[in-house]
């Protein structure tokens, strides 16, 4: 494989109190691909964190975009890509602060995206212990459950659509322009599912490039401003994963499919909670409260969208 020129590439990262991770993960990567443009968007958490990021950016020659608020993952990424476009870059590696990838692996992804500019590309992603964290996922359109691609054969009746993790994505400017970037309504989680869906709807493709590997220490970016439970995941994880599942349905699915997802919403919310283990409930009920709020807010979004659809249909009949 011919190694592509990195002078077309921007590496875009959203910082949320993650300077320690940027120092350990992004700095070595940036120094190994000096032709690439680094763009870091700071979703504000604390003056000292911002000061540290600005100092790091000046030291390393990065473009740092300062946001006065926390715009969420998708909003931050959109800002970063906008800045990269202004700087003349035409391919973007969208990277979590807690993800590591070597320069040669970035080259594999970039070559794939340059050869297929309407394909959204991701690497295989491993955990630090070497086990597989992501190698492709399916979204089941029957009920809104998410499963690893390798389990597809176990669910022969499922109607599935593939999606790629936002922890590490390579996207061309042409594809980004076609789909309009991330949906900012999600704030956190499911914006990558939505992006993958819209890529496919726009005539593009999504692909896991098995020849490229990254490592992801999941949850490393949830340190500041997000309370974690004793045994489980963050309360934000539960809230947004439960809510955004129904937000996705409201934005993208037929009325019939969205109603089916709503009927499964309580059971799926419980399955999301169990990803953090049952023991977490011994120390706090906040995970349950977070999921309940997500369920309430997601249902409101879904019912509002269904009501709007009915009103539009009634208007068409009257007209």
Output the pLDDT for position 268.
96
Task: Give the Å distances, CA to CA, from 209 to 33, 74, 92, 140, 298.
Answer: 20, 23, 16, 22, 33
The mean per-residue pLDDT over the stretch 148-166 comes to 91
d(Cα 102, Cα 109) in Å, to the nearest integer? Answer: 11
d(Cα 200, Cα 43) in Å, to the nearest integer? Answer: 29
Q: Name, in order, each residue with C-beta under 8 angstroms of 232's C-beta and a sequence gap of 6 or more.
A: 238, 273, 275, 276, 277, 280, 287
Q: What is the pLDDT of residues 225-266, one digit of tens each?
A: 445 545 578 999 999 999 999 999 999 999 999 999 999 999
- List of long-range contacts for 269-275, beta carbons under 8 Å, 24+ apart: 269/242, 269/294, 269/295, 271/145, 272/238, 272/241, 272/242, 273/232, 273/238, 275/232, 275/233
Q: What is the pLDDT of residues 61-81, one digit of tens each?
A: 999 999 988 999 999 999 999
Q: What is the pLDDT of residues 256-288, one digit of tens each?
A: 999 999 999 999 999 999 999 888 888 889 999
Q: What is the pLDDT of residues 167-219, one digit of tens each?
A: 999 999 999 999 999 999 999 999 999 999 999 999 999 999 999 999 998 76
d(Cα 217, Cα 154) in Å, to the nearest integer? Answer: 28
Contact 262, 212 (CB under 8 A): no
Q: Higher confidence at residue 220 or residue 135?
A: 135
d(Cα 65, Cα 57) in Å, to the nearest integer? Answer: 10
Model-level pTM?
0.91
pLDDT at 314 exceeding the cut of 70: no
Confidence of residue 305 (pLDDT cuts 50, 70, 90): confident
d(Cα 281, Cα 283) in Å, to the nearest integer? Answer: 5
pLDDT at 309 exceeding the cut of 90: no
d(Cα 243, Cα 301) in Å, to the nearest integer? Answer: 9
In the chain, domain spans:
6-216, 235-318
**For tokens 């120092």, what's the residue?**
23
Output the pLDDT for position 225.
42
Contact 163, 144 (CB under 8 A): no
Superfamily for domain range 6-216: Spore Coat Polysaccharide Biosynthesis Protein SpsA; Chain A (3.90.550.10)
pLDDT at 116 exceeding the cut of 60: yes
Q: What is the CA radius of gyration of the chain?
A: 20
pLDDT at 222 exceeding the cut of 80: no
Q: Name, in order, each residue with C-beta under 8 angstroms of 18's C-beta and a sequence gap of 6 or more.
A: 97, 98, 220, 221, 223
Output the pLDDT for position 154.
84
Of 80, 16, 78, nearest to 42 (Cα)?
16
């Amino acid at each position: 494989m011919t190694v592509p020129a990195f002078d077309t590439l921007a590496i875009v990262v959203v910082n949320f109190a993650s300077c320690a991770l940027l120092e350990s993960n992004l700095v070595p990567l940036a120094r190994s691909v000096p032709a690439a443009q680094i763009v870091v968007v700071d979703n504000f958490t604390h003056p000292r964190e911002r000061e540290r990021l600005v100092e790091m950016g000046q030291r390393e020659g990065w473009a740092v975009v300062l946001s006065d608020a926390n715009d969420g993952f998708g909003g931050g990424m959109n800002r970063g890509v906008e800045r990269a476009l202004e700087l003349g870059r035409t391919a973007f590696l969208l990277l979590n602060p807690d993800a590591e990838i070597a320069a040669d692996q970035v080259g594999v992804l970039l070559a794939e995206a340059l050869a297929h500019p309407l394909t959204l590309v991701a690497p295989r992603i491993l955990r630090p212990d070497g086990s597989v964290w992501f190698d492709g996922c399916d979204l089941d359109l029957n009920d809104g459950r998410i499963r690893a691609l390798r389990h597809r054969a176990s669910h022969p009746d499922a109607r599935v659509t593939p999606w790629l993790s936002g922890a590490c994505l390579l996207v061309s400017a042409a594809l980004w322009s076609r789909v309009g970037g991330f949906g900012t309504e999600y704030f956190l989680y499911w914006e990558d599912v939505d992006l993958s869906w819209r890529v496919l709807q726009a005539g593009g493709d999504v692909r896991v490039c098995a020849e490229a590997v990254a490592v992801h220490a999941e949850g490393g970016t949830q340190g500041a401003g997000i309370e974690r439970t004793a045994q489980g995941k963050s309360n934000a994880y539960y809230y947004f994963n439960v809510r955004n599942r129904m937000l996705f349905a409201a934005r993208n699915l037929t009325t019939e499919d969205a109603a089916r997802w709503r009927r499964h919403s309580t059971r799926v919310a419980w399955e999301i909670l169990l990803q953090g283990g049952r023991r977490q409930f011994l120390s706090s009920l906040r995970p349950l409260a977070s999921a309940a709020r997500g369920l309430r807010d997601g249902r409101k979004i879904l019912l509002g969208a269904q009501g709007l659809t009915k009103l539009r249909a009634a208007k068409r009949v009257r007209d």
